[in-house]
Amino acid sequence: MSAPVTLITGTRKGIGRHLAEYYCDRGHIVYGCSRGDPGWSRENYKHFVADVSNEGEVKPIFSAIRREHGRLDNLLNNAGIASMNHSILTPMDTVKKIMETNVIGSFLFCREAAKLMKANKYGRIVNFSTVAVPLKLEGEAAYVASKSAVEGLTNVLSREFASFGVTVNVVGPVPIETDLIRAVPKEKIEALVARQAIKRLGQMEDVVNVVDFFLKRESEFITGQSLYLGGV
């Protein structure tokens, strides 16, 4: 069997970078993107500078994958942004940016990936939500709205893509120490962790474990599911 072809969004840093390096080391051919230059490299890794919500920048990624491999096995829609702010204090521009990156970006990648995956009658898509959705976290209205949309999108696509042999699932991490939560006050994070069944921060390995599970060939009967870490 040839090496799996895996596309991961938001690979410059944080969870996306970790996933990209992890799957490269596991022998995948990994394609990644982010708005900035990654500043790291790996054999078997190819980076595109692209904003996930920009159709014109995204399409060439899929053209390249099709030209170079003729198929795509896995898509991880990791790119995402957040804003911690009371809704009353949240500017419209912030709301738009969050929706564009998290919702429109995920939609666009799912749509284009499914076209490639359908041809091969095989595919695994993992979208990224957060425990802030089930916890109804105050101070993250726009972010939670966007990730709720990602979950809704996942639910419908799991049905639309089922006949293509493509599964679509969601992983919902708890707080993990990346730039995404660096600006959030410590007490806020502690209060959030206190609401988990297992009260600790998440680790990259916790996310990897769930993604690995969704990507397994044997997971062909698992779709449209949201799996939250920490017992939320």
Ligand X SMILES: NC(=O)c1ccc[n+]([C@@H]2O[C@H](COP(=O)([O-])OP(=O)(O)OC[C@H]3O[C@@H](n4cnc5c(N)ncnc54)[C@H](OP(=O)(O)O)[C@@H]3O)[C@@H](O)[C@H]2O)c1
Write out the residues near ligand X by the rule CB under 6 A: 9-16, 33-36, 51-53, 78-82, 101, 105, 128, 130, 173, 175-176, 178-181
Helix/strand/coil for 183: coil
Please tell me whether residue 68 binds another protein under the rule CB under 8 A.
no
Among 104, 119, 184, 208, binds another protein (CB under 8 A): 119
Among 13, 42, 46, 66, binds another protein (CB under 8 A): 66
59 binds, among ligand X, another protein, none (CB under 5 to 8 A by kind): another protein
Sheet strand arrangement including 226-228: 45-49, 29-34, 5-9, 74-77, 123-128, 166-172, 226-228
State how far the alpha carbon of 191 is from the alpha carbons of 124, 143, 180, 198, in Å.
34, 18, 17, 13
Residue among 30, 33, 41, 10 at smallest CA distance from 73? 30
For residue 232, the minimal CB distance to ligand X (Å) is: 11
16 binds, among another protein, ligand X, none (CB under 5 to 8 A by kind): ligand X
Please tell me whether residue 59 binds another protein under the rule CB under 8 A.
yes
Pairing of strands 123-128, 226-228: unpaired
Please tell me whether residue 62 binds another protein under the rule CB under 8 A.
yes
d(CA 201, CA 192): 10
Please tell me whether residue 96 binds another protein under the rule CB under 8 A.
no
Output 13 or 26, the one with its CB closest to ligand X. 13
Q: How far apart are the two ends of the chain, measured CA to CA in Å? A: 37
Output 118 or 188, the one with its CB closest to ligand X. 188
228 binds, among another protein, ligand X, none (CB under 5 to 8 A by kind): none
Give every CB contact of residue 73 below 8 A, 6+ residues apart in sequence.
4, 5, 6, 117, 120, 122, 123, 124
Report the interface residues with another protein, using CB under 8 A.
55-56, 59-60, 62-63, 66, 111, 115, 118-119, 163
